[in-house]
Amino acid sequence: MITQKCIDEIKMAARIEDVVSDFVPLKRAGASYKGVCPFHDDHSPSMHITPKLGIYHCFVCGAHGDSIKFLMEYQKISYPEALRYLAGKYNIAIEEEKKELTAEQEAAKNEREALLNVNAYAEKFFTNQLFESEEGRNIGLTYLRDKRGFKEETIRKFRLGYCPDTWDTFSKKAVADGYKPDDLLTLGLCRKSEKTGNLFDFYKGRVIFPILNAFGSAIGFGGRVMSQEAKGPKYYNSPENPIYHKSDVLYGFYFARRAIRERDNVYLVEGYTDVISMSEAGVENVVASSGTALTDGQIKLIKSQTNNITVLYDGDNAGIKASLRGINMLLAAGLNVKAVLLPDGEDPDSFAKGHRDSELKDYLEQNAVNIIQFEAKTLMQGAGNDPLKRAEVVNTIIETVAEVNDEVLRAFYVRECAELFQLSEESLQVNLKRALWKRMNTPSPSRVTNSPQQPVQQGQPMQQQLPNVVKPEEVPQTQQPPTDPLYDLEYNIIRLILKYGFFETNVRDVDADGQEVIRRMRVDQYVFNEFHAEEISFTNPLYQRFYQEYARLAQQFDSQDDLCKAFAQHDEEALQALAIPILTEQTPDCSPAWEQRFDMDTPRPDTDIECLNQEIAGCVNLFKMRLIDKCKELLIKELESEDLTEQEQRDIMMRIGELNERAKELGNLQRIVISSQY
C-alpha cells in the first residue's frame, strides 16, 4: 500500500495539463486549456483544463476530476496504477507501508495489477530469450534482423522477443518463479494438455510482438511462427481477458501518440511489421488495427489524439473493398479521412523498406486523397461502362457521404461526386436525403455513445432525510435527485462560500452601547455565525457534509485558491463532483459597449463589495424564510388534527404567529411583502 506521504507528493507534482496532454491534444485558452473530451462523442473542444485547480471538466457530459481520476477513467485502471504511472512520470520513488497483509487481503489484491505483473514477467522472459539464448539469436533475431531488415535499436524499442520451440520452458519457469497457473491460462500465455493436465507454452517457437497499453505496459502478445512445418495460423494473439480487449487496442499507439499530436494526423495500417517498418523509416505517427475490422473503441482512441486519419492500402483490390466498410464508421465519428494506395505488389512494410525516409514521406503526402475520390477510383475499376454497376457505385459513395455529420462538408462531397460522374447535384441530393433518412432510422453501434458520467445536477439533493451528522460513506452518490426550491437556496449558499468564502463583506452589528455598527467579516464566517445563531443546518445531507468539511479545511488554508484546489481534488467523489462545476462555471461579462454607452460599471460579487453583501445576505435570508415556510407547513398540518386540546391549538397558533413575525422581519430586509393565511 502506497503511503499517504507519497500520495500527497504525487498529487503536488502532477500537473493536470501535462497528464491530459499525454492523451488528448490541448490548446491554450487564456489561463486554461481546452480539448476534445474523450469521454463522449465530442466534435468540438468541450473539456476545459484548469491548471490553477489541477482539474479537468467537460461542460457537455460532466466528466470531471484531477490527474489521478483522469487516468483511471481514460485508461480504465485502478487508483494504485494511476499513482504508479504518475510517480514514474515525475520521477517520484514509491514508498509503501511496511505492513504484512492477511491471507484475505492478499487474495483480494487487484486482479488487473496481478495480471499486468505476469505479462511484464513474460515480456522480459521473451526479450531475454531473443537476445541472450542461442536459439533466440539464431532463429528469432536472424529473422527480425536479416529477413525483416529491422535494426537492433528498433527491435529493442518495440520490445520484440522470442519463445523457445520447446514444450514448456516458459511455463515451468513462470510457475517456479511464483506465478499462478490460473493467471498464465487466463492471459493465454499457456495452455493445458487434455491428456496430462500439464501446462505447455502457447507461443512456443514464435517471435513475440508485445501489445502495449497507453502507459507502455504489456497487455497482450502476438506471436509469429518461425517453423515452415508448423501447423496452424501464422500468427497467434492473446485471447480476450480482463486486461486485454482487442477492440480497444491499436498496435503501436504507445509509441505513436506524441507524433500523432505533433503532426495532427495518424496513418492506419494492418499489421505489426507495417508499423515497425514505417516507424523505422521516420513515419512515427502510425498504428495498426492488427488485421481486425475497425471498432468503436479503436476509433475513440484515434479521436483522442487527432481528427485526421490516412488509411494505407496495398494493391489487393478485394482487401480494399472489404476494408472500406470501416471507413463509414470513421466518417460517422467526425474524422477527416484520406487514403493512400500503394503501388502494385507493395504493402506498408515492403514499401517503407524500399524507400528512403524523405521518399516515403513525400509519397504519402502527395498521394493522399479524400475518401470520396478514393472510393470512386477503386470501385469504378470493376464497373467499367455498365450503367447499372456505375449507378451502384454512385449510390455506395452517397451512402458514405451520408455518414458525414458536417453539412457543409457533405455539400462539398456531393459536388465532387457530381463532377466525377458528370451527374447533376440535384439528383445526388435526392439520393443523399434517402440515405440520410435510412441512416437516421437504422441503429448503428458506431453512432451510439454511452457517456460514462452524467452532468452534475446543480442545486438539487440526493435524498431528503435530515441526519444530524453526515458521514462520508452515508452521502448518496448516484440516486436521482428530487426537486425542491429549498435545495436551490442551499446550493447557492454552498456556491458562494466556496467561491468567495475568504472575501470580506460588511455586516451590520450592534455594539455594547446598543448602537448599530458595520463590521468587516469573512463571507464564510458570516454564514457560520448565522447558522449557529439560528441553530439551523442544511436539509440536503450532501450539502451538510460539504459544510462540515469546509469548516475543517478553512482552518488549514490561507487562501481561497488553496481551499478550492483541495475541494477540486478531494478524495470524496461526492464532494469533488459538487465542487468542480461551481469552480469551473463561467462568469458572464457585460458587453464593454453597453458599459461605455451608459457610462456605468456592472457590479459583480468578485469585484464589488456591495454586490457581494447583497448576494450573500439575500441567499441566507431567503434560506431562512424557506425554512420558516417548511416549519409553518408542518405546524398547519398538525393543527388539522382532531385530537388536539384547546391549549395545544393555542400554542401552535402562537408559534405560527412568531414565525410570521420573523418572516416579516426577513421580508423587510429583502424588501419582500409577506402575506399569509395564518
DSSP per residue, 251-291: BTHHHHHHHHHHHT-EEEESSHHHHHHHHHTT--SEEE-TT
Look at residue 485 and tell me whether its pLDDT is greater than 90.
Answer: no
- CATH (residue range 4-89): 3.90.580.10
The whole-angstrom separation of Cα 123 and Cα 137 is: 16
Res. 280 pLDDT band, cuts 50 70 90: very high
Pick the residue with more confidence: 671 or 73?
A: 73
* pLDDT (0 to 100) of residue 107: 45
- CATH (residue range 253-447): 3.40.1360.10
The whole-angstrom separation of Cα 220 and Cα 243 is: 8
Pick the residue with more confidence: 23 or 163?
A: 163
Q: How many CA atoms lie within 13 A of 499 on its CB side?
A: 22
Look at residue 189 and tell me whether its pLDDT is greater than 90.
Answer: yes
* pLDDT (0 to 100) of residue 108: 39
Lowest mean pLDDT among 24-38, 247-261, 578-592: 578-592
* pLDDT (0 to 100) of residue 460: 30
Look at residue 308 and tell me whether its pLDDT is greater than 60.
Answer: yes
Res. 667 pLDDT band, cuts 50 70 90: low
Res. 113 pLDDT band, cuts 50 70 90: confident
* pLDDT (0 to 100) of residue 678: 41
Look at residue 179 and tell me whether its pLDDT is greater than 70.
Answer: yes
* pLDDT (0 to 100) of residue 144: 97
Which of these CATH numbers, 3.40.50.620, 3.10.350.10, 3.90.980.10, 3.40.50.970, describes 111-242? 3.90.980.10
- Residues in Cβ contact with 88 at an 8 Å cutoff, skipping those fewer than 6 apart: none
Q: Phi/psi at 200 (nearest 5 deg)?
A: -135, 160
Lowest mean pLDDT among 439-453, 467-481, 496-510: 467-481
For the chain, report the end-to-end CA distance as a whole number of angstroms.
62
* pLDDT (0 to 100) of residue 606: 59
**Cα separation values, 284 from 64, 154, 279, 329, Å:** 32, 12, 4, 24
Q: Which residue has the cell 451512402?
A: 399
Res. 465 pLDDT band, cuts 50 70 90: very low
The whole-angstrom separation of Cα 253 and Cα 238 is: 17
* pLDDT (0 to 100) of residue 675: 41
Res. 464 pLDDT band, cuts 50 70 90: very low
pLDDT tens by residue, 531-548: 877 777 888 888 888 988
The whole-angstrom separation of Cα 130 and Cα 270 is: 24
Pick the residue with more confidence: 55 or 657?
A: 55
- Residues in Cβ contact with 471 at an 8 Å cutoff, skipping those fewer than 6 apart: 545
Pick the residue with more confidence: 65 or 469?
A: 65
Look at residue 461 and tell me whether its pLDDT is greater than 80.
Answer: no
Give the residue-averaged pLDDT of 179-201: 94
Give the residue-averaged pLDDT of 336-361: 90
* pLDDT (0 to 100) of residue 19: 92
* pLDDT (0 to 100) of residue 249: 93
Look at residue 360 and tell me whether its pLDDT is greater than 90.
Answer: yes
Look at residue 502 and tell me whether its pLDDT is greater than 80.
Answer: yes
Topology agreement, domain 111-242 and domain 253-447? no
Look at residue 487 and tell me whether its pLDDT is greater than 70.
Answer: yes
Look at residue 478 and tell me whether its pLDDT is greater than 50.
Answer: no
Query: 160 near 226, Cβ under 8 Å?
Result: no
What's CA 534's distance to the chain center, in Å? Answer: 44
pTM of this structure: 0.67
Sequence ranges of the domains in the chain: 4-89, 111-242, 253-447, 472-584, 592-670
* pLDDT (0 to 100) of residue 171: 97
The whole-angstrom separation of Cα 431 and Cα 429 is: 5
Q: Which residue has the cell 461542460?
A: 59
* pLDDT (0 to 100) of residue 142: 96
Of 231, 235, 229, 232, residue with least CA distance to 206: 235
For residue 360, the SS3 value is helix
Report the chain's mean pLDDT, rounded to a whole number.
Answer: 82
Res. 598 pLDDT band, cuts 50 70 90: low
Percent of the chain at pLDDT above 70? 83
pLDDT tens by residue, 118-129: 999 999 999 999
* pLDDT (0 to 100) of residue 676: 45
Pick the residue with more confidence: 593 or 261?
A: 261
